[in-house]
Structure 1
């Protein structure tokens, strides 16, 4: 029996003021994975997230959280979600701990003192938790927001632009916390962001939408679907190297000393050894990685209304 997906978005369409914002959108997110949600401004990301967390109604289709439909079992579905949409709602005149206690009192699930201390340690606010939130840096407030969102042990965490306003150190810290949550608590994490490089570092999979429609979904661990990578090999004798490599690898020369080929990573040591044994000097071997930014620009710029 297949495992129930943490999130299932099924053929969802949403129109606002007569304009279709999201159109027939479907995707799934599994427990323990971090799922990136990318698209240009106005692509429908925030509208989709607002439907996922119950802030606006679904037009057509359905969204299921842990197998429960937001349409027919709204309470059961939403109690499984922790979310930050836009900025965390915090009381700046209260301490971090008081904010967490206030939020715990509003939770439909009981939150123990032990759980609260566990979450404070997880987001590394031990030393600052009894200070007023108005003294916190932006990064600390974001961490407190994450602590608030996960206090009731949700199975799903949904974050809309969580790195807004953070400096590079804050972004890195938040990335580490989210990866730890997915790994240690088995939490499904959905992150919408305009920072493509950060999504590439953070996420396991990514969806790209444009004009409310799915244009691509990729595993960031397997961007090269054929298992091969593009390799640039700079050699001392490109003509002989091309003749030697041609029977096994498709390659092209840049007109100089660099030959570009497609090959599996495990074939590279033998390939280099063959060139050396035939007296061809290797200046450098450089693997080109598929870049999410290139894919994003290629797909979103290629879609027309």
Structure 2
């Protein structure tokens, strides 16, 4: 059964006399990946710090697993793991020593730590012979996530996990996070600017702008099929002229390769047949699909205008 994991209601936060969060309402659910997006300075990290109990809210509230986040019990603290972009690893230690140190702080038995560490190292394909100070950015990201997964949390919170990673490392990390969520039921909250990778794995998208939530939707609603059609052809300018004269069709735009248009369904049932009847030489014909990047751009534009 899907249950609530994180919930904020009317969350406000002021730092040094400046209000940085305004009436934040967020709910995340078990076994899902929630993407938390917004520009630099929008309030993502401040929200995460409130969610994890590092900042007391100025007003409103925040709960995790049904308990107030600030002054959370150690029992509930052990139910989540968090990785901030700035790290928190000890460079003079090995990977094993880093994981052992943090896991023992959570009261774990050394044999259990060792068993899970070895399994996760193999799962993430992490080479552990070097001291952490000699790890690449990607290796450090993997180790920080391993460190937070050893105690098998129900919730994993990641602040900019794709920062500084090469394409191969991004793909690997993205796929592993999706696997952890689907196979183990781990809930994941990811704050990131990497919209392309988030679109591959997220279930829910929450967008913050200037300390206010401006969107909170299921990803499938955001990236669903639109009512716009795209046809690629040899002579898009000519095709655009033809389409403009057809009742029920409105040309949205065209370039050197394609024409985008909408159709009044009550007037035209089969737009492809209409094109063929007008002797349009078609290379491709499909319905447009929205992207998370498109959604981010239009939502931010609307937020700025308001």
| Structure-2-length-normalised TM-score | 0.83
Distance 2:98 2:275 in 1: 65
How far did 1:66 drift?
Answer: 2.1
How far did 1:278 drift?
Answer: 7.6
State the superposition RMSD in angstroms.
3.1
1:148 aligns with 2:147: yes
Question: Where has structure 1 moved over 6 Å in runs of 4 or more?
Answer: 235-245
Other structure's SS at 2:221 match:
coil
In the TM superposition, what whole-angstrom CA distance separates every residue of 1:275-298 from its partner, at most 9, and x where no partner exists?
A: 547865434314432232233233
In the TM superposition, what whole-angstrom CA distance separates every residue of 1:136-158 from its partner, at most 9, and x where no partner exists?
A: 21101110000001111111111
Quote the residue 2:123 is aligned against: 122
In the TM superposition, what whole-angstrom CA distance separates every residue of 1:212-239 from its partner, at most 9, and x where no partner exists?
A: 11111232222256x5442123578667
Unaligned stretches of 5+ residues in structure 1: none
How far did 1:175 drift?
Answer: 1.1
Asked if the contact 1:65–1:80 (Cα under 8 Å) also holds between the matched residues in 2, the reply is no
Quote the residue 1:45 is aligned against: 44
Other structure's SS at 1:303 match:
helix
In the TM superposition, what whole-angstrom CA distance separates every residue of 1:46-65 from its partner, at most 9, and x where no partner exists?
A: 11111112222122222222
Asked if the contact 2:31–2:185 (Cα under 8 Å) also holds between the matched residues in 1, the reply is yes
Quote the residue 1:87 is aligned against: 86
Q: How does 1:91-170 map to 2 (within 5 A)?
A: 91-110=90-109, 112=112, 113-125=114-126, 128-170=127-169
Q: Cα–Cα, structure 1 residues 302 and 241, in superposed 2: closer, same or farther, change >3 Å?
A: closer
In the TM superposition, what whole-angstrom CA distance separates every residue of 1:27-61 from its partner, at most 9, and x where no partner exists?
A: 11112221111112221111111111222212222
Distance 2:42 2:239 in 1: 49
Quote the residue 2:262 is aligned against: 261
Asked if the contact 1:70–1:77 (Cα under 8 Å) also holds between the matched residues in 2, the reply is no
Quote the residue 2:272 is aligned against: 272
In the TM superposition, what whole-angstrom CA distance separates every residue of 1:112-158 from its partner, at most 9, and x where no partner exists?
A: 13222222222222xx2243222321101110000001111111111
Asked if the contact 2:226–2:287 (Cα under 8 Å) also holds between the matched residues in 1, the reply is no
Quote the residue 2:195 is aligned against: 196
Q: Cα–Cα, structure 1 residues 229 and 253, in superposed 2: closer, same or farther, change >3 Å?
A: closer
Distance 1:283 1:86 in 2: 45
Quote the residue 2:297 is aligned against: 297
Q: Cα–Cα, structure 1 residues 96 and 229, in superposed 2: closer, same or farther, change >3 Å?
A: farther
Other structure's SS at 1:6 match:
strand
Number of aligned positions between the proteins: 295
| Structure-1-length-normalised TM-score | 0.83
How far did 1:75 drift?
Answer: 2.8
Q: Cα–Cα, structure 1 residues 11 and 54, in superposed 2: closer, same or farther, change >3 Å?
A: same
Asked if the contact 2:90–2:98 (Cα under 8 Å) also holds between the matched residues in 1, the reply is yes
Distance 1:151 1:145 in 2: 10
Q: Cα–Cα, structure 1 residues 43 and 105, in superposed 2: closer, same or farther, change >3 Å?
A: same
Asked if the contact 2:7–2:62 (Cα under 8 Å) also holds between the matched residues in 1, the reply is yes
Quote the residue 1:210 is aligned against: 209
Q: Cα–Cα, structure 1 residues 173 and 263, in superposed 2: closer, same or farther, change >3 Å?
A: farther
How far did 1:274 drift?
Answer: 6.4
Asked if the contact 1:13–1:23 (Cα under 8 Å) also holds between the matched residues in 2, the reply is yes
